[in-house]
Amino acid sequence: MKKRIVITGMGTVNPLGNNVNDFWTNIRAGKCGITLNDRFDTTEYASKIAGLVKDFNASEIIGKRESRSMAHFTQYAVAASMEAMKQAGLAKGEFDEDRAGVVLGNGIGGFEVIEEALEKIFTAGPRRVHPMTIPKMITNEGPANVAITHGCKGPVCSIATACASATDAIGHAATLIQAGKADIMITGGTEGGVTKLGIAGFNVIQALSTRNDAPEKACRPFDKDRDGFIHSEGAGILVIESLENAQARGAKILAEIVGYGSTCDANHLTAPHPEGTGAAKAMEVALKDAGLKPEDIDYINAHGTSTPTNDPLETKSIKLVFGDYAYKVRISSTKSMHGHCVGAAGGVEAIVGVKAIEDNYVPATINLDEPDPECDLDYTPNVGVETKVDTIMSNSLGFGGHNGILIITRFKA
């Protein structure tokens, strides 16, 4: 039998809150964290809206000296990991550091660091580039800084599978524990890509919503009037452990990870497979890994990006796997409230899944006023539902055809 993997801590920084409690309170209230983008001058940008982290002071949380050597994506990861480790009751030096590791998903890295360096080259010359440019911008510096913060000396790496990065990171971290390589892993995802380059790059492929006059209404998963996703930032971090390790130290167990599926469409760089078969296969793999049937899933946190392409194809993939039960299972996309956190999405949404189990509550898909005829399932429109939730599926589908699926269930001893 494979080792059981449990969740003992959670932390987040995202457009709806800088801790799990505030985030979940706002999710339950149906609030939207998407606003006009005031990070930089958007005059020449088609999309002028974003999901921005607000009221976040890295110097106060992490330390002035330490935070200066981190890009935004790393600051978010370190801050969220501190919350998660505190909840897990794991203080630095009080656990076996050689048996603790970090796997974080990230899609973009330190884009703002790259932009600053290029501007310096063009205005002052290459000798004026800051010496911390490379250490700040590369994606592995997120997990490396988390490892340094907490003293984790086991496996430490970054996973880059676009929008599936965080989900794949959690799956990989769980696999490391099951393989006996670690007892404790800090995992999830982080992203800080709301920059000039990040927004411009998604703008030119017409992936972003341009509903600039009503930011809070712009993210409309499964709605016929959706016009693109909202680029967001933040981090969603979990502490996961082997059941034996958690029980030996008397940790409070929040939930259990029972299934993980990962596939690739191997079809197109930016578009999902036209029949939804890659995502469907990943769901099937996750269900098999969990030893569950489709009817055992109470809630699906959909990838639900609010793009014309994703939503009907994800709907099709759910139907392929769930059959008639697809019309009975509760589904929602909380991206409608916090936007698309790209490499952090699966981490943020895994937290939603754990809280849904904890509260027996399925959050809403807000702004779903008139469903696309091709999107005909129960997406919990506009108002969340109090209902029994024991087992959830969290879907993450990324550019390159990457599909990552997690199944999380209520812990039973």
Active site (annotated) includes residue 219: no
Question: Which amino acid type is present at position 377?
Answer: L
| Candidate list 72, 303, 338, 402, residue with the active-site label | 303
- Radius of gyration (Cα) for the chain, nearest Å? 20
| Candidate list 150, 340, 375, 402, residue with the active-site label | 340
Dihedral over Cα of 67, 78, 208, 15: its sign: negative
Active site (annotated) includes residue 268: no
Active site (annotated) includes residue 172: no
Which residues does 35 contact at the CB level (< 8 Å), separation at least 6? Answer: 15, 49, 50, 51, 52, 215, 216
Cα 291 from Cα 313, distance rounded (Å): 25
Secondary structure (DSSP) of 77-115: HHHHHHHHHHHHT--TTSS-GGGEEEEEE-SS--HHHHH
Cα 48 from Cα 38, distance rounded (Å): 8
Question: Which amino acid type is present at position 286?
Answer: A
Secondary structure (DSSP) of 359-390: HTEEPPBTT-SSB-TT--S---BSS-EE---S
| Candidate list 163, 219, 341, 375, residue with the active-site label | 163
Would you give the distance in Å from CA 276 to the centre of its chain? 21
Catalytic residue ranges: 163, 303, 340
